[in-house]
């Protein structure tokens, strides 16, 4: 019978939101969008400022006001003197004023109007010009020529841009603030005031006007208004002249964004996809592309990712091999234990039972030693990660380690001697993890003491070699078989000296030494010392690590 578990007692499944980082397309990539938008924003600001041309327009308006005001002042002065009569009561001579306006050289796009003191329009240069212009008409065409499509598109684009710029909120607000009619200026002029500046008419055309009163002494007889409506066309012409430059700026922005996308976003995407492939498959060692030829940060990133991937795969292989070696080494004492325990049941004599019990105890001790050494070996990387590298004096390291063994030396054991050649007045330093590095030297010395005779010596030497530091540990033992000079650093390899009890060595000491020295970017190797006749004098283990250069050394 099954029981119903309350909903609040059931384990809650955590929701994991995975980002689709490596699977997003190139053109929907956030990095690609940021590249394009960052380039586009600056360009938009530049283009908008160029198209708006506020400063140019303001300067043009000020120049127009000065020119128009000069002309208006001249006209009012002439009319005031020649077209206002000579009687005591001055009146505006409309016909005389028209003759004055006909004699004024009015520029194209300018217009002069004259209002009497009642506000009525009495003269206008637009209607005063009675000249007749003749020209030859173009021949009648049977069919209108078809305009090229690119001209139509260019005109449509230009019209669309002008419409958008014309309806910008701040431009609409400016037009509304300057919107006024001519009547208000005429009324102000009849009151003796001067009006000038830009204004917008009902059709949103920009007009620069100046209105001055026509006076005879202090009496206002009319108002002269001079207008210029060519400011907008001048500004538009300048905007159109900027169009090719704006086009080139857009092209440069697009090419720049495309280059950044191809050389930054696309390689990053390739690296992300390759990293995703690596996480899904244990056989894609070369999935990370080699971009080292770029000689930039992305090339450096690809190299680091390739090295990291190779290191992870090597670590996985090491873990798998280590697990297999551990299983093999533990299986041997377990097999011996099983055999001894099975035999113990059928042992008939006391001596047989005691011998089997001794075997069982030896196997248990061997397993305990194996498990302890295996635990130490598996924690080497973790201990190195927790340690902090320090600056260590090489001579002091050798001296302290030798003093420790000399103080703890047994009377019938080999002696440990310091033969370092470093001058105390010129100290040499290395950058190392203190405890793990000391463990390496202790393991090497312990190994040398095991193989040296009771009256022998173990020599520890530290010396400088170029930009490296070399530590050597020499013993006076039988040496190492030439075929095993590299094998001794493999896990669980043991070469027991004569008289050593079985299972007293796990074969992990030298493997741990190589693991620690590799983390220090150094090397460790074994060799035999021989005399001139080729006789083996003992084994030598050499540790080679980088030297920390003093700050004053180039």
CA distance 114 to 77: 13
- Max intra-chain CA distance, the chain: 165
Query: Residue 468: helix, strand or coil by DSSP?
Result: strand
In the chain, CATH 3.30.565.10 covers: 380-546
CA distance 466 to 295: 30
Please name every residue paired with 464 in a beta bridge, in sequence order, or none if there are none: 469
The DSSP output letter for 179 is: B
pLDDT at 471 > cutoff 70: yes
Question: Residue 214 — pLDDT band, cuts 50, 70, 90?
Answer: confident
CA distance 84 to 76: 11
Higher pLDDT, 147 or 71: 71
pLDDT at 502: 47
pLDDT at 273 > cutoff 70: yes
CA distance 428 to 520: 16
Instruction: Give the least confident one: 3-7, 30-34, 177-181, 332-336.
Output: 3-7
Question: Residue 486 — pLDDT band, cuts 50, 70, 90?
Answer: confident
Give the residue among 214, 30, 242 at the shortest CA–CA distance from 115.
214
Average pLDDT over residues 473-477: 90
- The length of the chain is 554
Architecture of the CATH domain 53-125+151-229 = 2-Layer Sandwich (3.30)
Q: Is the domain defined by 380-546 classed in CATH 3.40.1380.20?
A: no
Question: Residues 6 or more apart from 87 whose CB is under 8 A from it?
Answer: none
Higher pLDDT, 415 or 501: 415
Give the residue among 152, 154, 99, 144 at the shortest CA–CA distance from 122.
99
CA distance 425 to 272: 53
pLDDT at 18: 43
Question: Residue 324 — pLDDT band, cuts 50, 70, 90?
Answer: confident
Query: Residue 108: helix, strand or coil by DSSP?
Result: coil
Average pLDDT over residues 523-536: 89
Query: Residue 398: helix, strand or coil by DSSP?
Result: helix
CA distance 510 to 162: 82
H or E segment at 151? helix 149-166
State pLDDT tens for residues 336-354. Answer: 888 888 888 888 788 888 8
State pLDDT tens for residues 72-110. Answer: 888 888 887 776 665 556 778 788 888 888 888 878 878
Instruction: Give the least confident one: 11-25, 140-154, 514-528.
Output: 11-25
Crossing angle (nearest 10°) for helices 434-451 and 394-407: 50
Question: Residues 6 or more apart from 549 whose CB is under 8 A from it?
Answer: 467
Highest average pLDDT, of 94-108, 315-329, 445-459, comes from: 445-459
- The mean of the pLDDT values for the chain is 77
Token look-up 């120049």 returns 63
In the chain, CATH 3.30.450.20 covers: 53-125+151-229
CA distance 192 to 212: 8
State pLDDT tens for residues 178-212. Answer: 777 788 888 888 888 888 888 887 777 788 888 88
Average pLDDT over residues 385-397: 84
pLDDT at 542: 93
State pLDDT tens for residues 35-81. Answer: 777 777 766 766 666 655 566 667 777 888 888 888 888 888 888 77
DSSP string covering 514-553: HHHHHHTT-EEEEEEEE-TT--EEEEEEEEEEEPBPPTT-
H or E segment at 469? strand 468-474
How many other CB atoms are found less than 10 A from the CB of residue 240? 11
pLDDT at 493: 64
pLDDT at 525: 92
Model-level pTM? 0.48
Question: Residue 14 — pLDDT band, cuts 50, 70, 90?
Answer: very low
Question: Residues 6 or more apart from 256 whose CB is under 8 A from it?
Answer: 39
CA distance 65 to 228: 9
State pLDDT tens for residues 118-130. Answer: 888 888 888 876 5
pLDDT at 345: 82
């Amino acid at each position: 019978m099954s029981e119903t578990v309350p909903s609040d007692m059931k384990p809650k499944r955590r929701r994991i939101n995975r980002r689709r980082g490596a699977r997003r397309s190139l053109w929907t990539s956030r990095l690609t969008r940021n590249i394009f938008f960052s380039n586009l924003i600056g360009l938009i600001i530049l283009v908008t400022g160029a198209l708006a041309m506020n400063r140019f327009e303001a300067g043009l308006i000020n120049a127009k006001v000065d020119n128009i005001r000069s002309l208006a002042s001249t006209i009012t002065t002439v009319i005031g003197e020649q077209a206002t009569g000579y009687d005591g009561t001055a009146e505006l001579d409309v016909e005389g004023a028209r003759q004055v306006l006909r004699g004024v050289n009015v520029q194209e796009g300018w217009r002069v109007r004259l209002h009497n003191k009642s506000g009525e329009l009495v003269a206008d240069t637009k209607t005063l010009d009675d000249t007749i212009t003749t020209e030859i008409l173009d021949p009648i065409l049977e069919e209108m020529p078809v305009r090229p499509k690119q001209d139509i598109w260019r005109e449509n684009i230009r019209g669309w841009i002008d419409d958008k710029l014309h309806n910008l909120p701040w431009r609409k607000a400016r037009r509304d603030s300057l919107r006024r009619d001519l009547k208000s200026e005429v009324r102000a002029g009849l009151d003796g005031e001067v009006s000038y500046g830009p204004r917008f008419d009902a059709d949103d055309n920009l007009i620069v006007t100046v209105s001055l009163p026509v006076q005879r002494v202090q009496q206002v007889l009319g108002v002269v208004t001079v207008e210029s409506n060519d400011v907008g066309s001048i500004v538009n012409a300048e905007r159109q002249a900027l169009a090719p430059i704006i086009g080139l700026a857009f092209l440069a922005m697009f090419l720049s964004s495309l280059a950044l996308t191809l050389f930054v976003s696309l390689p990053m995407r390739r690296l992300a996809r390759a990293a995703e492939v690596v996480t899904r498959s244990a056989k894609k060692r070369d999935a990370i592309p080699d971009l080292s030829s770029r000689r930039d940060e992305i090339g450096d990133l690809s190299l680091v990712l390739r090295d990291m991937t190779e290191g992870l795969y090597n670590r996985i292989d090491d873990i798998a091999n280590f697990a297999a070696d551990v299983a093999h080494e533990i299986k041997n004492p377990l097999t011996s234990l099983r055999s001894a325990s099975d035999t113990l049941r059928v042992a008939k004599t006391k001596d047989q039972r005691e011998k089997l019990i001794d075997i069982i105890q030896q196997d248990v001790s061997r397993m305990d030693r194996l498990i302890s050494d295996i635990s130490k070996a598996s924690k080497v990387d973790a201990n190195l990660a927790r340690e902090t590298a320090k600056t260590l004096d090489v001579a002091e390291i050798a001296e302290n380690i030798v003093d420790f063994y000399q103080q703890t030396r047994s009377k019938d054991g080999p002696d440990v001697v310091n033969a370092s050649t470093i001058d105390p007045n010129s100290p040499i330093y290395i950058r190392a993890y203190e405890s793990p590095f000391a463990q390496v030297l202790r393991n090497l010395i312990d190994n040398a003491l095991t193989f040296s005779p009771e009256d022998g010596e173990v020599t520890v030497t530290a010396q400088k070699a170029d930009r490296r530091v070399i530590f050597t540990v020499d013993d006076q033992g039988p040496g190492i078989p030439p075929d095993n000079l590299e094998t001794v650093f493999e896990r669980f390899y043991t070469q027991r000296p004569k008289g050593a009890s079985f299972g007293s060595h796990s074969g992990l000491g030298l493997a741990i030494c190589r693991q620690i020295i590799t983390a220090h970017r150094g090397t460790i190797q074994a060799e035999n010392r021989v005399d001139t006749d080729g006789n083996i004098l003992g084994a030598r283990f050499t540790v080679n690590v980088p030297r920390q250069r003093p700050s004053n050394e180039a």
